[in-house]
Amino acid sequence: MHCAAVLAAAQAAPLLRAQLLGTSRRAMATSLLRVPPPQELLRPLAVPDRLLLGPGPSNVPSRIRAAGGRQLLGHMHPETLQVMDEIKAGIQYAFQTQNPLTLALSGSGHCAMEAALLNLLEHGDTVLVAINGIWGQRAADIARRLGANVHELLKPPGECFTPRDIEQGLVQHKPLVLFITHGESSTGVLQPLEGLGELCHRHGCLLLVDAVASLGGAPIFMDQQEIDVLYSGSQKVLNAPPGSAPISFSERAREKMLRRKTKPPSFYLDMGWLANYWGCDGEPRSFFSLREGLAVLAELGLESSWERHRANCSRLCQGLRDLGLELFVKEERVRLPTITTVRVPEGYDWKDITAFLMDKHGMEISGGLGPTVGKVLRIGLMGCNSTSGNVERVLGALQDALRHCRRSRL
Amino acid sequence: MHCAAVLAAAQAAPLLRAQLLGTSRRAMATSLLRVPPPQELLRPLAVPDRLLLGPGPSNVPSRIRAAGGRQLLGHMHPETLQVMDEIKAGIQYAFQTQNPLTLALSGSGHCAMEAALLNLLEHGDTVLVAINGIWGQRAADIARRLGANVHELLKPPGECFTPRDIEQGLVQHKPLVLFITHGESSTGVLQPLEGLGELCHRHGCLLLVDAVASLGGAPIFMDQQEIDVLYSGSQKVLNAPPGSAPISFSERAREKMLRRKTKPPSFYLDMGWLANYWGCDGEPRSFFSLREGLAVLAELGLESSWERHRANCSRLCQGLRDLGLELFVKEERVRLPTITTVRVPEGYDWKDITAFLMDKHGMEISGGLGPTVGKVLRIGLMGCNSTSGNVERVLGALQDALRHCRRSRL
């Protein structure tokens, strides 16, 4: 049938046909499509509405969805440049920084981790990676790919690092960069950052912080806490679709990049070019969404956002305890207010519970990640999803699951 | 004012306050926001509608905009996996390939260029880059960043390579990979690919082709033409927003990647991980848009899409000649049907013309890029923008510009 279509098209297209006839016999043969149009693409797109209470992405409010549905603009149009200025100002507010080198990458938070490491590190540079979950492991993997001299500072999943832990690592390994995760989404730990920047700088080291899962949901102050590189994602508290990642570099970080002897192994993520004009390959549409996500945060105010996430997280934790469940992170002070980890109770399989919530309640929560696989359930309450109503919904659904998902002992 | 807000929030937030008081005096100081909410973010987002006839992005039809405005899904939901299968089938159709290793990256076409090079090349590998515009230059830059042994095959901007040019380069440099651009958007050249795959394979070389600006607008047959790696973008003929890039690897390319002794310098773009499960950092929203873009192409049919782009391009070229303008690409056979380059006429500045079209006609066309800066205007007619109506609109606007933008000779 598609061959017939080709012939029809060829008849309707003398020049195309001539073009094909003009070339070799082989070219003529190749003018017949071998792969027909896929039937599944000829059916309409079907997307159900779901409550996304996993570790992200979280639901996108209608205002931000509307921004995602706007017409594109060219990447050099004044309105686009204006939106980019607004995004820059919004990131500076969310990060609490005055850094001029503040922008959004066209990629996920994961992409921002790579951008931070490949711009800061050169082959042979020593980096110390604080690992208490999967994001530290990932950063160490990427740093090794970049040919860096990687040292690991280890803590069991569910625990956080003390300034003493960090100082010992700095003294022992003399790194140029320390990587640490503020919101460890695989374990639910919120890493205290107070004093770490001063500590690193006293030891001639830059502080690189991953705030993908925590930004807007827990206090962070890039300038006052002397953080040198900070990045996040768009699909967590900001409630924008994935695909644009806020990132900022301090003057110290900028100087290290200017001293590079070698180009970063990427052009796409080379800050030299991005800083000159970021978004050249144009992500205007997801920029619109990110702009709206940052606008919602600016209207709500950071403190109110932090407090809302803290309050709903503690309501959730209390409710989980009331169901007889055990929280994975013992110390309340270091619980991530955006993503709560709870141990899978005896006699249950986490897959049964997450499947039950999806099928019976149209609600996503997730299992563990990396070191917590099989051990925990992860409940995300981020941005517009952080409401007491959603706390009630997920607690009710879990109570229902505990009734129905117990495995008969064999 | 924002300090007052902090105090208010602190009063409304005993636990947050306690949390802050709980830490050092310094922490208390840092609890006061130094960066207030940016005023420009408190104003509503303003996005004018424009006709985008530059080299991309092109306008997004309402059906695809609607997909971009859909609610998110989790990246492991069955509906998301279904959409990803549909995208894979749609790319296999658009590329005319049966390659199992076919997927969409979470990034721009630029990002796909890096993914292709960093997965194929290892430090010290010899690569031959065919350069007749900016994309070859960019590929050579990236390959050098990756530590490859880069040789350049040069042609003047506006010309294309003959099989003889290629064979001489293969014999002289014995590369493992040849990079060539199918649609050179900086010059408007469509590179004939017939026979290049056989030629490369006879010389033990892989063929890597950039089809960002041409896919869907001009014939390409990945399997029959023996192309080993082919990639494109979503914001050109497919009319989806930027941020998801189709890419496919042949069995030969897969084998070279499996033989790697070193990991690629990126995790985000490591095909080993992406092939295992692509989209793990979740781009479901722009995936919806890409799915719709591929669906429109499947409904229209590749041959009709090629023929439509060819026909409107030749109407445009005729109209430009009738205005007394000179086409940059002499040979009609190698003119890119998606992006037409025309010389800036004597006595005019390209900036005056593009600004006039934007201000007076709400229409984007663009100036040159790389080797063609200042020399040409570039008019894009891609996907839904490739219509005879748009040909008339841009010709009328250019006629108007030629009347108003002539510079008085000094």
Helical residues (DSSP H) of A13-52, grouped into ranges:
14-22, 25-30
**Interface mutation target, options B35, B145, B385, chain A, most CBs of A under 10 Å:** B35
A57:B284 CB<8 A: yes
Percent of chain A with pLDDT over 90: 58
Report chain B residues whose CB lies below 8 A from the CB of A283.
Answer: 108, 241-243
pLDDT-based confidence at B23, cuts 50/70/90? Answer: very low
A378 has binding-site annotation: yes
pLDDT score of B142 more than 90: yes
The one-letter amino acid code at A316 reads L
pLDDT at B275: 67
How many angstroms away from the CA of A253 is the closest CA of chain B?
20
Selected residue with higher pLDDT from A236 and B396: B396
Over the stretch B260-276, which tens digit does the pLDDT of each residue have? 999 999 888 887 777 66
First to last CA, chain B: 56
d(CA A3, CA B20): 71
How far apart, in Å, are the Cα atoms of B181 and each of B59, B159, B214, B232?
Answer: 24, 12, 9, 11
Over the stretch A123-182, which tens digit does the pLDDT of each residue have? 999 999 999 999 999 999 999 999 999 999 999 999 999 999 999 999 999 999 999 999
How many angstroms away from the CA of A141 is the closest CA of chain B?
8
Percent of chain A with pLDDT over 70: 89
A108:B106 CB<8 A: yes
Over the stretch B286-343, which tens digit does the pLDDT of each residue have? 677 778 888 888 888 888 999 999 999 999 999 999 999 999 999 999 999 999 999 9
Non-local CB neighbours of A355 within 8 Å, separated by 6+ positions: none
B71:A49 CB<8 A: yes
Structure-block tokens of residue A272? 């030299």
How many separate helices (H) and strands (E) can be counted in chain A? 15, 14
Nearest CA in chain A to B123: A265
- Element housing B358 (H / E): helix B350-361
| Mean of pLDDT values over A33-44 | 89
Of A45, A86, A90, nearest to B292 by CB-CB distance is A45
Report chain B residues whose CB lies below 8 A from the CB of A22.
Answer: 333
| Mean of pLDDT values over B344-359 | 95
Would you give the DSSP letter of residue B335?
A: B
Q: Could you tell me how many CB contacts below 8 A there are between chain A and chain B?
A: 371
Selected residue with higher pLDDT from B243 and A283: B243
Radius of gyration, CA atoms only, chain A:
25
pLDDT at A6: 30
pLDDT-based confidence at A69, cuts 50/70/90? Answer: confident
Helical residues (DSSP H) of B247-283, grouped into ranges:
251-258, 271-276
Nearest CA in chain A to B70: A65
pLDDT score of A43 more than 70: yes
Over the stretch B199-235, which tens digit does the pLDDT of each residue have? 999 999 999 999 999 999 999 999 999 999 999 988 8
| Mean of pLDDT values over A372-400 | 94
Largest CA distance in chain B: 78
Would you give the DSSP letter of residue A96?
A: T
pLDDT-based confidence at A392, cuts 50/70/90? Answer: very high
Report chain B residues whose CB lies below 8 A from the CB of A97.
Answer: 35
pLDDT at A182: 96
**Interface mutation target, options B285, B294, B307, chain A, most CBs of A under 10 Å:** B285
CA dihedral over B352, B356, B359, B363, signed as positive or negative: negative
| Mean of pLDDT values over A210-216 | 93
Mean of pLDDT over chain B? 86
d(CA A218, CA B15): 13
CB atoms within 10 A of CB B4: 8
Q: Which range (A213-222, A299-308, B39-48, B185-194) has the least confidence? A: B39-48
Report chain A residues whose CB lies below 8 A from the CB of B74.
Answer: 50, 52, 54, 57, 364, 366
Of A41, A282, A294, nearest to B90 by CB-CB distance is A41
Of B5, B42, B294, nearest to A303 by CB-CB distance is B5
How many angstroms away from the CA of B409 is the closest CA of chain A?
29
Over the stretch A92-117, which tens digit does the pLDDT of each residue have? 999 999 999 998 888 888 889 999 99
B267:A304 CB<8 A: no
| Mean of pLDDT values over A47-70 | 80
ipTM: 0.80
Nearest CA in chain A to B294: A41
**Interface mutation target, options A21, A25, A71, chain B, most CBs of B under 10 Å:** A71
Question: Is B92 in contact with B102 (CB distance < 8 Å)?
Answer: yes
pLDDT score of B363 more than 80: yes
**Interface mutation target, options B96, B266, B291, B369, chain A, most CBs of A under 10 Å:** B266
pLDDT at B22: 39
Nearest CA in chain B to A108: B281
pLDDT at B133: 92
Of A37, A77, A304, nearest to B301 by CB-CB distance is A37
Q: Which range (A160-164, A361-365, B246-250) has the least confidence? A: A361-365
d(CA A238, CA B249): 35
**What are the DSSP E strand ranges found in A64-145?**
102-105, 126-131
How many angstroms away from the CA of A312 is the closest CA of chain B?
12
3-class DSSP state for residue A352? helix
Of A34, A288, A298, nearest to B41 by CB-CB distance is A298
How many angstroms away from the CA of B107 is the closest CA of chain A?
6
Selected residue with higher pLDDT from A287 and B238: B238
Nearest CA in chain A to B96: A35
A195:B301 CB<8 A: no
